Structure formats: structure tokens, C-alpha cells
């Protein structure tokens, strides 16, 4: 087995069924140095226990996934979503403080889809910007960067009305770059004719809060949410995209985040080992 | 049943299993005035018979679907694809000449996906432009407009490396607007944050060769190629998009093109009737 790349981070979604203790253990035992966490497994043990577990693991934390889902019109459910995002901001700060040196306080935001029965895409997009504006003071106070993640356009109706890196940067551009950045995920943006110029722009504007990698392969599975693969298993040109991210000045860790039922069905330690090897083959050659 | 909108055209894909004679008959009997044809059912009877059938139907023809699939590198298969596109150009001209007054000679081009085993998206996109350049003299001589169709980004790997209207317009921009235009299909572009400005640009540049409508609804079916629905059955804002197309100066017919296994399983005349009603409810109110 390879010595893992020092910049590889295992996003916890890749080993979704592992509870937090197991996720931290198999990641550290593989020699990987960092991990991206998810709220549900953290909530399952409680934030205090989670921060102690993370500190004991010796791992850096590279992101907290995820906030967002704020395309609802004004009302109780929108206020509840904003309150939940504020809790996520606090969690992100606490986890980053507990992680090993080099940890970052980045909360990934998935915008949310159209409200039920709505066709008002422009309105939903406006509400995303408004919601981020409401969260910015809290994020700034907590030292947390909100990472607006454009999702693939096939999720625009039901998952995320933010569909391109340009659009995410336009939203982020209303706010200070230390507080609002973007998530660059190869799966979501590889197809975009503007991808390289928008990655360069994200770098110029100081907005690349996290770089996540996984691959696209056809045919898509029945649930298109689970269409992700290990780097190298599909058609994405990691040389081109990783090169663009590095040229844009990104110096952080690189998360592998995979939603895939076949991968989830396997032993977490095995999956981490496979991820180490896929990353070494398909991503590491393009890192400095 | 409504009197069909005079601008409604039934794209033959919507009644995929009807042979050409039946497709023409059920369309005309419903009082619809125009049809978009597909190559396979035309080939099935032969072009001479097809042109006579079309002339007898009294219908206008609004497009011929489809050419393209030219992302292959140089070689025999690429030359064969170009030769096939030249035949499609000749068919398009013959059919437009045989259709009722107001028929247009528009050949819709679907770019094609990545060649097997390739990750070179930029190279594939360059070859699309090159191939169109090779076809332009033939199209110009035949009086045919090539309509570059951006397909939804979920098809970028295996169907069409042209993914946005902006990209299609950039390609078309190298050629005369009377010979190379774009296909504006709501299903493929509704999610695009730039969609309204790019439709306006397409109008300014004289490039809207065809306007096609159908709807997007989640969850997507197992085969995402068949994810299309009648206008009004999903989340697309036809007021916004149709308004943009009309404001951009488009005066042509509007095709309903649906790929959907449930719709294909039903009687063609029934589907045409449902299409007439869906169009009346969701598209006609936004036409002048």
C-alpha cells in the first residue's frame, strides 16, 4: 500500500456507514492525515465527544458538511433552517479548534432545491444569497468560512439551485472572502465550458475554501445522487482540473467525497485503502 | 379539445413508435400545423416516399433530427460520420421543400460524447467546431441551417460535449448565422444561471434556429435520457423562458419534443391530443 499523500483528506461521506469513531480510526490507521466531517455522525455522539475524538485522532479537519438548504420563502421553516445553520457554524468552529494544526473551519453549504410546487428558480436563487447574508455575521464572529458549493445542474430542481462555479462566485462576491468562499468539486463542475477560467477567478478572488475530487462515469445509477466514483474510474480529467486549482493558488488539503452505494456497502478500512491508491494514481501526480 | 396553437409543432420523438405515415396523420388530424421529423422513420420509407407523404399531409416541417456525433478523432469513423451528416443535410433540404409554406430547413446537431476511453473534453469540443466547419459549405449550398443543440450537462460524457447555450453560440459564432444557429430546448438549459442573457444574445446574433419545449421533473427515471415530460408537468418556468425567446425575436414554430417511456407506450393520437392541451396551458399564454 502507498504512503498516503499528505494532502489527501477522506470526506466522511465516502465511508458513510462508519460511525465517527470508526471513521477517525480507519482514516488515521491508513496514514491519512485529514478528514472532512459530516453533521449527522457528529450529532450522533454529541459535539463535545466528537471534538475529543477528533483531537485524540491527531487528524486535521478539512470541512464540515453541511449547511444550506435555505431556498424556502420567509416563514417558520426558513427561520428553523437558519437556526440550524448557526448551530453548524458553531460546530465547524469547535471541530476546527479541536483538529490537528492545519485544520480549517469551513462549512460547506448546499443551497437547496426549489420549494415544493415552485417554478421560481430566480426567486430561490435570490433567497440563497439573502440567507448567506444573514449568516455572514455569525460566521465572521466564529472565524468560519462558508463554502458555497455549486452542484451539478442535474440537481438544480431538488438539491441545489446553485449550479455553476461562476454563479457561486457571484453570490460569494457580495461578501468578504475570509467569510464566504466556494467549494470546488470536480464531479459537479467538470463539464462546464467555463470551468478553468472560473477556477482561476476563484483563486484570484481568494475564494477556494475546499477542493473535493471524485469521478463521473456513465451510465448513471438509478439514484443519480449516488453517481460518484473513485478518481480515475471515470471521465474527469484530474490533470486539467487539479492543475487549474493549484495554479489558482490553492494550498489546502484535497478531499475525496464519494456517494456510491457499492462503495458504502464495503468495509470502511478497505474503502479508505482504495481511496489512498486512487488518489495516488489520479490526483497526486498533479499536485506540486 | 382545444384548437391547437398555430405555432405548435409535434416533434416526432414525442410519438417515437409511430411510423412516418401515422405520425403525419395523427398530427394533421389533431389540427396541428407542423411537425419535426427524425431521420430513422424517414429512412424507413425512403426520402422520396417521405417527401411525398409530407407534401400530402399539408404540414410544415420545423426541423430534421438529427446530425452530429462528431467528436471522434480523425479516421474512418469520423469520415463516415461527416458523410452521414452530409446525407442528413440533403434530406433536410428535400423535406423543407416538400413541406407546407413556412417550412424551414433546420438540421439539429447533437455533438456527441467523449470517445471511448477519452478524458479529453477540450479536444472533443474542438473537434465539434472543426466538423461543423467541414459541413458549412454543404449546408450553405443546400440552404440548410445547422442548429447546434446544447444538451443538459448530465449528458456531457456520453451524448453531447456541448453543454450550454453560451458554448453553442461561441461555436456558431465562427460561421454565418444563416448557416449555423442553435437549438433552444427548455429541458437542456432551464437550470443555467445565464439562460436569459444567452437567449437574448442568441436573438441578437440571429441564431435561434428552433425552440423546443418539454419539462423537467424529479426524481429522474432510471434512464436519464427519458426524463422529459409534457410542459406543465414539472418545474420549468415556461413564462420566463418562452418570454425570453419571443423577446429575442423568434417568430417560428415551437416544437414539443419528449423522450419518455410512459408517453411512448401510449397511442400516438392520444399523446398528440395531450400535447395540444399541455401546450395550450403552459406555452401558448406566453406567445404573442
Question: What mean pLDDT is predicted for residues A39-59?
Answer: 98
Residue B144 DSSP symbol = -
Instruction: List the single residue in B with minimal CA-CA distance to A161.
Output: B191
Which ranges of B13-164 would DSSP assign to H, the alpha helix?
20-29, 39-45, 47-57, 76-98, 121-142
pLDDT tens digits, one per residue of A148-167: 999 999 999 999 999 999 99
Whether residue A51 contacts residue A98, with contact meaning beta carbons closer than 8 Å, is answered with: yes
- Nearest CA of chain B to the CA of A21: how many Å? 34
Check B164 against A193: CB less than 8 A apart. yes
Are B157 and A235 in contact (CB < 8 Å)? yes
pLDDT at B2 over 90: no
Which among A122, A113, A129 has a CA at the least distance from the CA of B237? A122
Closest chain A C-alpha to B53 CA, distance in angstroms: 38
Total length of chain B: 288
Nearest chain B Cα distance for residue A251, angstroms: 25
C-alpha cell at B68: 452530429
**Residue A86 C-alpha, separation from nearest chain B C-alpha, in angstroms:** 28
Are A153 and B191 in contact (CB < 8 Å)? Answer: yes
What does the pLDDT average to over B269-287? 98
Distance CA B28, CA B87 (A): 27
A-facing residues of B in 257-276 (CB < 8 A) are: none
Q: Which helix (H) or strand (E) holds B169?
A: helix B165-172
C-alpha cell at A185: 468539486
Q: How many Cα atoms within 13 Å fall on the side-chain side of residue B161?
A: 24
What is the arithmetic mean of pLDDT over B182-210?
98
First-to-last alpha carbon distance for chain A, in angstroms, is 21
pLDDT digits (tens, 9 = 90+) for A205-245: 999 999 999 999 999 998 999 999 999 999 999 999 999 99
User: Is the Cβ pair B158, A118 closer than 8 Å?
Assistant: no
Interchain CB contact of B121 with A (< 8 Å): yes
Round the average pLDDT of chain A to a whole number and report it: 97
Q: Are A235 and B114 in contact (CB under 8 A)?
A: yes
> Among candidates A69, A67, A70, which has minimal Cα distance to A147?
A67
Task: Give yes or no for a contact between B276 and B1, defined as CB atoms under 8 angstroms apart.
Answer: yes
Residue A71 grid cell? 431556498
Whether A279 contacts A33, CB under 8 Å: no
In whole angstroms, what is the distance from residue B189 CA to residue B199 CA? 10
Taking an 8 Å cut-off on Cβ atoms, the answer to whether A192 and B153 are in contact is: yes
pLDDT in the model for residue B1: 54
- Asked if A216 is an interface residue toward chain B (Cβ–Cβ < 8 A), one would say yes
CA distances from A229 to A262, B156, B247 (A): 10, 16, 43
> Rounded to whole angstroms, how far apart are CA atoms B262 and A245?
44
Q: Rounded to 5 degrees, what are φ and ψ at B71?
A: -100, 5
pLDDT recorded at residue B266: 96
User: B288 is written with which cell numbers?
Assistant: 404573442
The angle, 0 to 180 degrees and rounded to 10, between the axes of the packed helices A268-282 and A20-29 is 50
Across B156-183, average pLDDT: 97
Locate the DSSP E strands across B141-243: 145-148, 180-185, 208-213, 215-216, 228-229
Chain B residues touching residue A153 (CB < 8 angstroms): 152-154, 191-192
Q: Rounded to whole angstroms, how far apart are CA atoms B68 and B128? A: 8
Give the CA count within 13 Å in the CB-facing half-sphere of B95.
33
CA distance A269 to chain B (A): 29
User: Rounded to whole angstroms, how far apart are CA atoms A73 and B214?
Assistant: 27
Dihedral angle, C-alpha B75, B78, B80, B82, nearest 10 °: -130
Residue of B156, B223, B235 with shortest CB distance to A191: B156
| Per-residue confidence band for A143, with pLDDT thresholds at 50, 70 and 90 | very high
Per CB-CB distance under 8 Å, the chain B contacts of A193 are 125, 163-164, 166-167, 170
Q: Round to whole Å and give the CA distance between B52 and B24.
A: 11
Q: pLDDT > 70: what percent of chain A?
A: 99
Q: Is the model's pLDDT at B116 over the cut of 80?
A: yes
What is the predicted pLDDT for the residue at A1?
Answer: 54
Out of A167, A191, A237, closest to residue B153 by CB: A191
Contact A93, A143 (CB under 8 A): yes
Do the beta carbons of residue B100 and residue B144 sit within 8 Å?
no
Name chain A contacts of B118, Cβ cutoff 8 Å: 235
Report how far residue A11's alpha carbon sits from residue B132's, in angstroms, rounded to the nearest whole number. 43
Residues of A in contact with B153 (CB under 8 A): 152-154, 191-192
Torsion of CA A174, A176, A180, A185, to 10 degrees: 90
Q: List, in order, residues 6 or more apart from A111 with CB less than 8 Å away.
A: A68, A69, A70, A71, A124, A125, A128, A148, A149, A151, A160, A161, A162
Task: Identify the band that residue B74 occupies on the pLDDT scale cut at 50, 70 and 90.
Answer: confident
Q: Which DSSP symbol is given to B35?
A: E
Region B57-68 average pLDDT: 97
Q: Are B15 and B260 in contact (CB under 8 A)?
A: no
First to last CA, chain B: 21
Give B209→chain A minimum CA distance, Å.
22
CA pair distance A129, B30, nearest whole angstrom: 47
Distance CA A101, CA A60 (A): 7
Q: How confident is the model at residue B67 (pLDDT cuts 50, 70, 90)?
A: very high
What are the chain A neighbours of B224 within 8 Å (beta carbons)? 154, 220, 224
- At A137 the pLDDT is 98
- DSSP per residue over chain A, as a string? -PPPPTTEEEEGGGGTTS-HHHHHHHHHHTT--EEEEEHHHHHHH-HHHHHHHHHHHT-EEEEEEEEE---SPSSHHHHHHHHHHHHHHHHHHHHHHHSPTT---EEEEE-B-PPTT---HHHHHHHHHHHHHHHHHHHHHHT-EEEE-PPPGGGTTTTBS--SHHHHHHHHTTS-TTTEEEEEEHHHHTT-TTHHHHHHHHHHTT-EEEEEE-EE-SSPPSSGGG-EE-TTSSS--HHHHHHHHHHTT--S-EEE----HHHHTS-HHHHHHHHHHHHHHHTGGG--
SS3 B219: coil
Whether B123 has its CB under 8 Å from any CB of chain A: the answer is no
User: What number of other Cβ atoms are within 10 A of residue B223's Cβ?
Assistant: 12
ipTM score for this prediction: 0.95
Q: B251 touching A, CB under 8 A?
A: no
**Across the interface, do A156 and B191 touch by the CB < 8 Å criterion?**
yes
Question: Residues A66-115: pLDDT tens digits?
Answer: 999 889 888 999 999 999 999 999 999 999 999 999 999 999 999 999 99
- pLDDT tens digits, one per residue of B5-54: 999 999 999 999 999 999 999 999 999 999 999 999 999 999 999 999 99
Whether residue B220 and residue A217 make contact (CB cut-off 8 A), yes or no, is no
Q: Average of pLDDT values for B212-241? A: 95
Cβ–Cβ pairs < 8 A, chains A and B: 84
A188 has pLDDT over 90: yes
Q: Residue A150's closest chain B neighbor by CA?
A: B193
Q: What is the pLDDT of residue A65?
A: 97
A251 touching B (Cβ < 8 Å): no
| Residue B98 to chain A, least CA–CA distance (Å) | 39
Between chains, do A193 and B224 touch, taking CB under 8 Å as contact? no
Rounded to whole angstroms, the Cα distance separating A118 from A104 reads 36
Amino acid at each position: 500500500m502507498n504512503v498516503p499523500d499528505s494532502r489527501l483528506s477522506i470526506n466522511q461521506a465516502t465511508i458513510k456507514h462508519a460511525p465517527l469513531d470508526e471513521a477517525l480510526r480507519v482514516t488515521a490507521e491508513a496514514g491519512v492525515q485529514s478528514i472532512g466531517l459530516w453533521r449527522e455522525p457528529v450529532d450522533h455522539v454529541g459535539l463535545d465527544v466528537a471534538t475529543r475524538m477528533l483531537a485524540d485522532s491527531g487528524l486535521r479537519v478539512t470541512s464540515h458538511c453541511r449547511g444550506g438548504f435555505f431556498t424556502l420563502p420567509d416563514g417558520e421553516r426558513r427561520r428553523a433552517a437558519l437556526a440550524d445553520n448557526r448551530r453548524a457554524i458553531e460546530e465547524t468552529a469547535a471541530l476546527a479548534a479541536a483538529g490537528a494544526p492545519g485544520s480549517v473551519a469551513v462549512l460547506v453549504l448546499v443551497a437547496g432545491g426549489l420549494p415544493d410546487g415552485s417554478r421560481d428558480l430566480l426567486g430561490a436563487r435570490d433567497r440563497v444569497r439573502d440567507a448567506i447574508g444573514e449568516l455572514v455575521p455569525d460566521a465572521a464572529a466564529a472565524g468560519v468560512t462558508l463554502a458555497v458549493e455549486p452542484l451539478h445542474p442535474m440537481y438544480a430542481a431538488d438539491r441545489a439551485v446553485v449550479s455553476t462555479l461562476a454563479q457561486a462566485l457571484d453570490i460569494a462576491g457580495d461578501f468578504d472572502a475570509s467569510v464566504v468562499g466556494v467549494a470546488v468539486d470536480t464531479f459537479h463542475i467538470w463539464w462546464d465550458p467555463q470551468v478553468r477560467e472560473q477556477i482561476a477567478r476563484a483563486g484570484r478572488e481568494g475564494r477556494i475554501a475546499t477542493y473535493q475530487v471524485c469521478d463521473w462515469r456513465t451510465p448513471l445509477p438509478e439514484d443519480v445522487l449516488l453517481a460518484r466514483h473513485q478518481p480515475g474510474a471515470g471521465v474527469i480529467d484530474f490533470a486539467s482540473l487539479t492543475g487549474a486549482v493549484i495554479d489558482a493558488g490553492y494550498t489546502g488539503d484535497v478531499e475525496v467525497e464519494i456517494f456510491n452505494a457499492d462503495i458504502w456497502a464495503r468495509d470502511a478500512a478497505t474503502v479508505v485503502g482504495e481511496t489512498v491508491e486512487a488518489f495516488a494514481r489520479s490526483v497526486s501526480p498533479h499536485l506540486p
